């Protein structure tokens, strides 16, 4: 047992992990010149293993976990449990908390956008990176029945079926980035819907993955009707795809993955103020109403002044200026680890100050001695 502890608490491990972490940070920073932030994070910082062509190396997540283990074993050192080292102990405790908080955030936090037009309202968050295929049965007069297929299912050659649907969907191709391209010749007979007039042209993925416009080419089969055939769909398609199978009407949409909230937010007014005589923005703000269980609250969200409600935080993130008014973009985050940095920084601050004040007289004495001699 002691042997294991001795191995894990060795400061060399810490030095090696921190050097490796520095290497990762340098590489991950430089690569941002060419790749998007999300891709860089996935490759360097949120990864367990990084492949440098054929060589596997520990990724950011693994490196930090090793560092955390090493730090935790530090407390097995008997020599540190002295008043003189109290500052150091507190400092390392803070460091551990910071790493744990980082881990919690990495594992459990979720973030996305809420996009609301002036005069409109919304009760869901849209994911930055993941898509979903929504199939909406609009036949009933009272309600719409939603069937949602998540991003991991939207891969080439996968067949999507569900008891609510009386047909099958086969994903023929998933395009990370594409644009509709008008057909010049008449289409083959199996093309239906949008694909009758357009093709989906695959494009090179953009630097940031949320600039992409993904698209799917899919086949509907086993409906037993003339609806069977090949279809195409892309994100933000202006004319939605509708099909009907045996008296059931369906709308098919490819959209950013949605998370629904137990409340809704309506935008009354979005304001942008510039420094007069310049194009430099001075402030952005959204005048919103939060509706929850028929209780209505008016709230102002500003830059640096977010709304926190039910564990969600809404930040003024961006805006779209359109011909019929403005649209606000709120960044929404749910983070269970968000208090850790606050607590750990206070603890570390106390520890470091404690240590410095213990050390200071020492340092001064040494140089005084020198002057005396």
Q: Which residues bind other proteins (CB under 8 A)?
A: 11-12, 14-15, 18-19, 21-22, 25-26, 28-30, 32-33, 37, 40-41, 45, 98, 101-102, 105, 111, 273-278, 280-284, 303-304, 306, 313, 315, 317, 331-333, 335, 337-338, 341-342, 345, 348-349, 352-353, 355-356, 359-360, 362-364, 366-367, 369-371, 373
When the beta carbons of 41 and 259 are compared against other proteins, the nearer one is 41
**How many Å apart are CA 340 and CA 177, to the nearest integer?**
38
Q: How far is CA 272 from CA 193, 303, 311, 324, 326, in A?
A: 41, 11, 27, 16, 10
DSSP for residue 118: B
Which is nearer to other proteins, 123 or 317 (by Cβ)? 317
User: Shortest gap between Cβ of 32 and other proteins (angstroms)?
Assistant: 5
Q: CB of residue 14 vs other proteins: minimum separation in angstroms? A: 6
Residue 18's φ and ψ, nearest 5 degrees, are -70, -35
Burial code (b: 16+ CB inside 10 Å, e: under 16) for 265-292 equals bbbeebeeeeeeeeeeeeebbbbbebee
Closer Cβ to other proteins, 201 or 308, answer by number:
308
Q: Which is closer to other proteins, CB of 226 or CB of 304?
A: 304
Residue holding tokens 């998933």? 174
- Tell me how far, at minimum, the Cβ of 38 lies from other proteins, in Å: 10
Our CB check for other proteins shows the closer of 84 and 183 to be: 84
- In whole angstroms, the minimum distance from the beta carbon of 240 to other proteins comes to 32
Any long-range contacts for 16-22 (C-beta under 8 Å, 24+ apart)?
17/63, 17/64, 17/66, 17/67, 17/70, 18/67, 20/57, 20/58, 20/63, 21/60, 21/63, 21/64, 21/67
CB of 369 to other proteins, least distance (A): 8
Residue closer to other proteins, measured from CB, 219 or 271: 271
**Structure tokens given for 273:** 């103020």
> Smallest gap, in angstroms, from Cβ of residue 200 to other proteins?
30
Q: Which residue number, 218 or 340, has a Cβ lying nearer to other proteins?
A: 340
Closest approach of Cβ 316 to other proteins, in Å?
A: 9
Phi, psi dihedral angles at 308 (to 5 degrees): -115, 125
Tokens of 367: 């140089």
């Amino acid at each position: 047992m002691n042997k294991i502890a001795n191995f894990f608490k060795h400061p060399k491990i810490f030095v090696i992990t921190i050097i490796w972490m520095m290497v990762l940070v340098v590489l991950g920073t430089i690569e941002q010149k060419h790749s998007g932030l999300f891709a860089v994070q996935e490759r360097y910082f949120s990864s367990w293993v990084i492949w440098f062509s054929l060589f596997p190396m520990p990724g950011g997540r693994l490196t930090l976990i090793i560092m955390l283990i090493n730090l935790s074993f530090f407390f097995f050192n008997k020599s540190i449990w002295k008043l003189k080292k109290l500052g150091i102990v507190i400092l390392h405790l803070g460091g551990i908390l910071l790493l744990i908080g980082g881990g919690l955030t990495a594992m459990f936090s979720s973030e996305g956008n809420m996009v609301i037009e002036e005069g409109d309202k919304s009760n869901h968050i849209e994911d930055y990176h993941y898509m979903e295929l929504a199939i909406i049965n609009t036949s009933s007069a009272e309600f719409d029945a939603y069937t949602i297929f998540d991003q991991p299912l939207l891969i080439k050659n996968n067949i999507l079926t569900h008891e609510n649907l009386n047909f099958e969907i086969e994903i023929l191709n998933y395009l990370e980035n594409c644009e509709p391209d008008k057909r010049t010749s008449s289409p083959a007979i199996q093309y239906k819907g949008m694909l009758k007039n357009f093709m989906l042209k695959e494009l090179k993925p953009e630097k940031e993955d949320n600039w992409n416009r993904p698209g799917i080419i899919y086949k509907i089969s086993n409906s037993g009707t003339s609806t069977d055939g090949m279809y195409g769909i892309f994100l933000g398609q202006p004319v939605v795809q509708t099909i009907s199978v045996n008296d059931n009407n369906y709308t098919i949409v490819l959209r950013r993955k949605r998370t629904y909230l137990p409340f809704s937010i309506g935008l009354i007014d979005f304001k942008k103020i510039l420094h007069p005589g310049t194009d430099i923005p001075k402030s952005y703000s959204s005048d919103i109403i939060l509706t929850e269980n028929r209780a209505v609250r008016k709230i102002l969200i500003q830059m640096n002044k977010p709304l926190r409600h039910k564990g969600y935080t809404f930040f003024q993130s961006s805006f779209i200026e359109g011909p019929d008014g403005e649209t606000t973009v709120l960044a929404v985050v749910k983070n269970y680890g968000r208090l850790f940095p606050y607590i750990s920084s206070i603890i570390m601050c106390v520890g470091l100050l404690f240590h410095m004040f213990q050390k200071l007289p020492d340092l001064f004495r040494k140089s005084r001695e020198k002057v005396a001699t």
